[in-house]
Amino acid sequence: MAATAEHSTTGTSAPAYYVSTPIYYVNDRPHLGHAYTTVAGDVLTRWHRQRGEKVWYLTGTDEHGQKIMRTAEANGVSPQEWCDKLVEEAWKPLWEHLEIANDDFIRTTEERHTARVQEFVQDLYDKGEIYKGGYSGPYCVGCEEFKLPSELLDGATEDEKLCAVHKRPVEWLEEENYFFRLSAYGPKLLEFYAANPGFIQPASARNEVLRFVEQDLKDLSISRSTFNWGVPLPWDEKHVLYVWVDALQNYITAAGYGSDPERFAELWPASVHLVGKDILRFHAVIWPAMLMAAGLPLPKRVVANGWLMVGGEKMSKSNLTGIAPTDLTSHFGVDAYRYYFLRAIPFGTDGSFSWEDFTARYTSELANDFGNLASRVAAMVGKYFGGELPASAAHGDAEQAIADGLRTAVETADQKIGEELDFAGGLAAIFEFVKQVNGYLTEQEPWKVAKDESAEGRARLATILYTAAEALRGTAVLLNPVMPSTAEKLWDSLGAAEGLGALAAQTVATVGDWGRLPAGATVTKGEILFPRLEEKPAS
């Protein structure tokens, strides 16, 4: 976790922009699918930080339930030992490696979580929202979810039914459970969705939820008594809380619910819950109903991302490509990794990863279009002006077109990334601008202008190189949330810090103001931003 005091910009009582990822099951190590959502959340929060907003980014791990318990048993350790090991050895280090700047990391086995969860469910119980009953039905341990018969696939025998997500047999569970009166919330939920059309995104996800809630909702079984790896119900300790009801509350327990009212008022309701489309109903139906029952405000948005696919199936622990996130980062680098998935797959739709596609985008977009532009401009300022950025002598139409291009890129990227979570669209706009700057240099041919040593020739050359460097200044700021290390290298190479301060201090509001990079800045060639790729490692 790369959280630092500098990132935790909360502290006064105005609402913060609060983004969450799902909390991940720690039965195994993180894979590309998990990293996909976590990087997206990181880019979103960094974008909002760059707007100068107070931001809070939460991720964490989901550690209770049968799936984790069975995995620990199979490995001959206690569930707690298993979770501790995986969190410390696999999950936190990956987020650090990917430069995820989360402000907190919640684990559902922490006391700060379990104690608040018990208070929350006790409150619902006291309000009559929870009652005791019996339930029997097919259960998928992979999803930790009771299934409806209509959702199942046929298995190998007549009696066997398979979970449609995991393609593994479901189990028949029959227990005395406590139930949450979810069925009472159908009309209130529909009313809420109608009054808040942006609550569930994208539209396909919203439609799916509407169709589901329009049918009669069933009460939700919220406890288990056949195993004990979970949060005990405070009024009946023979039962542990259903893992999903426990897990969903991480979004409030981490934000200070029941422990720090001031912080909670500042953070809650969350601005965006990022979720995979498979866990949409939990977040868009069950979670809001629980919050309504508790009398708490509902999150502002639930945004579902699609799946990374492999061989036409959701990438999962059982059908991995065999490629871990670190296999890709050691070949392409962390920043290119952060860029690639968001650029290549429209957020909200499924997408396939391919080594060839990643290589093609790396080479054409990152290395050729962007990296070469940065190194060529730095090299020319070095060669023709001794590394001191000249002032623009005459800002003509061609230069104004670049200034306008920057402003358009800023406005489009701000709307698409910051508001719509259309990362691919936002990045396309930024790279459109990079292309425009390349086109400008091709047209202006500074290497030919440099041969003209007259005062006019020098002035023209100064204008062209200032324009290109100033365009790069804007690009560094726009790409900072997506590729922070690369943007920092570019900032250094432009010598921008001297006149403009740290890259982290730049804002979306001013990035489009033309002429911010002061003439006289010390431009240096710096490191190659996207080095030529090594041979693909043998698989």
Residues that bind ligand MSP in the complex, under the rule CB under 6 A: 22-25, 33-34, 36-37, 62, 247-248, 250, 275-276, 278-279, 307-308, 314-316
Instruction: Decide whether 108 or 475 has the Cβ nearer to ligand MSP.
Output: 108
Buried b / exposed e across 95-114, counting CB within 10 Å, b at 16+?
beebbbbbbbbbbbbbeebb
Catalytic residue among 7, 54, 67, 143: 143
Catalytic residue among 7, 31, 67, 161: 31
Q: Is 83 considered catalytic here?
A: no
| Cβ(342)–Cβ(492) below 8 Å | no
**To the nearest whole angstrom, how small is the minimum distance from the Cβ of residue 104 to ligand MSP?**
14
**To the nearest whole angstrom, how small is the minimum distance from the Cβ of residue 55 to ligand MSP?**
20
Catalytic residue among 161, 163, 239, 331: 163
Catalytic residue among 67, 83, 140, 283: 140
**To the nearest whole angstrom, how small is the minimum distance from the Cβ of residue 210 to ligand MSP?**
20
Query: Dihedral through CA 319, CA 320, CA 322, CA 325, nearest 10?
Result: 180
Q: Is 140 considered catalytic here?
A: yes
Strand partners, 241: 223
Distance CA 484, CA 476 (A): 9
**To the nearest whole angstrom, how small is the minimum distance from the Cβ of residue 435 to ligand MSP?**
30
**To the nearest whole angstrom, how small is the minimum distance from the Cβ of residue 202 to ligand MSP?**
14
**To the nearest whole angstrom, how small is the minimum distance from the Cβ of residue 251 to ligand MSP?**
7
Instruction: Decide whether 314 or 361 has the Cβ nearer to ligand MSP.
Output: 314
Q: Is 435 considered catalytic here?
A: no
Instruction: Decide whether 91 or 491 has the Cβ nearer to ligand MSP.
Output: 91
Distance CA 323, CA 158 (A): 36
Catalytic residue among 34, 113, 273, 283: 34
**To the nearest whole angstrom, how small is the minimum distance from the Cβ of residue 349 to ligand MSP?**
11
Instruction: Decide whether 142 or 256 has the Cβ nearer to ligand MSP.
Output: 142
**To the nearest whole angstrom, how small is the minimum distance from the Cβ of residue 304 to ligand MSP?**
8
**To the nearest whole angstrom, how small is the minimum distance from the Cβ of residue 196 to ligand MSP?**
20
* Cβ-based neighbour number of residue 383 at 10 Å: 12
Instruction: Decide whether 27 or 467 has the Cβ nearer to ligand MSP.
Output: 27
| Cβ(108)–Cβ(60) below 8 Å | yes
Distance CA 234, CA 239 (A): 9
Instruction: Decide whether 103 or 145 has the Cβ nearer to ligand MSP.
Output: 145
Distance CA 108, CA 241 (A): 12
Q: Is 7 considered catalytic here?
A: no
- Kindly report the backbone phi and psi dihedral angles of residue 315, in degrees, each rounded to the nearest multiple of 5, phi listed first: -65, 130
* Cβ-based neighbour number of residue 504 at 10 Å: 15
Q: Is 34 considered catalytic here?
A: yes
Strand partners, 284: none
Pairing state of beta strands 272-276 and 171-180? unpaired
Distance CA 376, CA 395 (A): 21
| CA dihedral sign of residues 413, 417, 421, 422 | positive
Catalytic residue among 127, 132, 238, 317: 317
Distance CA 169, CA 142 (A): 10
Catalytic residue among 48, 92, 239, 314: 314
Instruction: Decide whether 141 or 381 has the Cβ nearer to ligand MSP.
Output: 141
Instruction: Decide whether 288 or 495 has the Cβ nearer to ligand MSP.
Output: 288
Strand partners, 179: 131, 221
Instruction: Decide whether 249 or 480 has the Cβ nearer to ligand MSP.
Output: 249
| Cβ(480)–Cβ(487) below 8 Å | yes
Distance CA 427, CA 261 (A): 38
Among 50, 57, 61, CA closest to 2: 57
Distance CA 503, CA 491 (A): 7
Q: Is 273 considered catalytic here?
A: no
Beta strands in 341-492 (DSSP E): 351-352
Distance CA 215, CA 194 (A): 16
- Kindly report the backbone phi and psi dihedral angles of residue 181, in degrees, each rounded to the nearest multiple of 5, phi listed first: -75, 60
Residue nearest to ligand MSP (CB): 276
Catalytic residues: 31, 34, 140, 143, 163, 166, 314, 317
